[in-house]
Amino acid sequence: MRWKEVTVLFPILFLLLIETTAATNVTRDDKQIAGGIFSVVTFPNLACNATNGLTGTCMTKSECTTANGEVLGSCAKGFGACCFIAMKTCGGIVKQNNTYIQNPDYPSGTFAISSTENRLCNYQFHRTGPNQCNVRLDFTTFEMGPPEREGSDKWECQPDTTDYVNFNHSDANMRSGLLICGYNNGQHLYLDLSGENSNPGYARMNMILDSTHWEKYGRIWNILVSYIECGTPTTPPRGCDRYYFGNYGTGVIKAYNYDQPIKKYASRLTGYHTVCVRREKGSCQISYVPPDFDQTDDGFAVNGDPASLFKGRSACQHPSPVPCTSYVRIPQASKTGLTPFNFETTPTTPTGRCDRFCGRRLCFTHQGCTSADHDVVVSRVIPFHLNIEMRPHSPIGYENRGYKLNYVQSKC
């Protein structure tokens, strides 16, 4: 975190006044110049609330001009400028914390493609300081081509099918397995910045926009780029693609595309990713459960056939009775948190822990929970995390929305 110094000329009486008033995040260091009428005010470059309702960075006005930003409000008790920075370009290099990357013409227009070739919008995220471990992308607005195209019998985010967005960590040896498309307002993603000597040394987000099937689609994006320093309470464990924390150990985890307003655009992504939850002080286990079935019948709808509507499937370890090609894995899942639930199949199939779930209900019993609500699934594996695997095998008619999991941590 950097601190800025601003030299200010004050009337002596006002200096005496603020000397007796403590200001949060602002400190004074009087300089004995010209009878003590100069003062140096220092403040950190923290996030601030811009007057447009978005996030800015507290800095001096001259710094804001250098960063190609816009002063939208004040900060640091009026000594700093709340600098709002936005890149309205199809791709570019980000080097400033709290930068918004936006489609051209945002917010007045959406982004359509008029060429006969796919459009590439590639963003690079370079370090802004030596002690940074991650970059966080908050999808304030994210509406791309949906996971569908005319003539296809599957929903999927794939090349030559629709738009798709992939990600790269700063270390080429650390692979990101996630592709996303469709509607993801309010979601987020972390990218690893690794060490300063990693190759290529910066993280990337690559948008490949499909001109063949979705040429005139009204894409729109507004993504906040935040740099996360190492060793803070909000720094995720390495390998976490999403990270949830705070709120006394409770929260909600939703699949990408879960909130898609058009139902037929199901939560059909491609690839895999890891969702992590910060362990709050004194907690030993975490419980997951979808909303009550009478509230929504698709709070858990992963790889489920409408012919077996409202049944749960437990794939466990492969081989299993019916493999889940897409699933939510809850490590060492159990009903109590003490003994992981095991399954037994045929004499030729080994016993294994049941920690992979799919179907239309979260349920320990294969093709079960048809007349009851979801099971509550508990895990004591630290750090708390879920492994998500999505494969493009569900036909269009399945309409699998994905998952919405309420979680709560329990004390030791």
53-57, 112-116, 179-183 — which is least confidently predicted?
Answer: 112-116
Whether 394 is covered by a domain: the verdict is: yes
Whether residue 168 has pLDDT greater than 80? yes
- Residue-wise DSSP of 24-53: TTBEEEEE--TTTTEEEEEEE--EEE-TTS
Whether 58 is covered by a domain: the verdict is: no
Domain match, 283 and 365 both: yes
Domain match, 216 and 352 both: no
Domain match, 105 and 13 both: no
- Residue-wise DSSP of 286-299: EEEEPPPTTT-TTS
CA 312 – CA 367 distance, rounded (Å): 5
Domain match, 109 and 229 both: yes
Whether residue 316 has pLDDT greater than 60? no
Domain match, 209 and 281 both: no
Domain match, 231 and 354 both: no
Helical H runs in 69-194? Answer: none
**Bridge partners for 42 per DSSP:** 5, 27
pLDDT bucket at 347, cuts 50 / 70 / 90: very low
Whether 401 is covered by a domain: the verdict is: yes
Question: With contact defined as beta carbons under 8 Å apart, do 105 and 89 qualify?
Answer: no
**Bridge partners for 406 per DSSP:** 252, 289
Question: With contact defined as beta carbons under 8 Å apart, do 332 and 340 qualify?
Answer: yes
pLDDT at 224: 98
Query: Which domain covers residue 28, as residue numbers?
Result: 3-44
pLDDT single digits (tens) 190-207: 999 976 677 788 999 999
Domain match, 93 and 197 both: yes
Whether residue 112 has pLDDT greater than 70? yes
Domain count, the chain: 3
26-30, 206-210, 235-239 — which is least confidently predicted?
Answer: 26-30
**Residue 19, phi then psi, degrees to nearest 5:** -65, -25
Domain match, 162 and 294 both: no
Whether 268 is covered by a domain: the verdict is: no
pLDDT single digits (tens) 58-88: 999 999 999 999 999 999 999 999 999 999 9
Domain match, 220 and 281 both: no
Domain match, 230 and 281 both: no
Token reading at 356: 């992979």
Whether 335 is covered by a domain: the verdict is: yes
Whether 134 is covered by a domain: the verdict is: yes
CATH of the domain at 140: 2.60.120.290
Averaged over 326-337, what is the pLDDT?
85
Whether 55 is covered by a domain: the verdict is: no
pLDDT bucket at 296, cuts 50 / 70 / 90: confident
CA 149 – CA 297 distance, rounded (Å): 26
Domain match, 114 and 13 both: no
Domain boundary among 178, 211, 235: 235
Domain match, 292 and 179 both: no
Whether 271 is covered by a domain: the verdict is: no
**Residue 169, phi then psi, degrees to nearest 5:** -75, 170
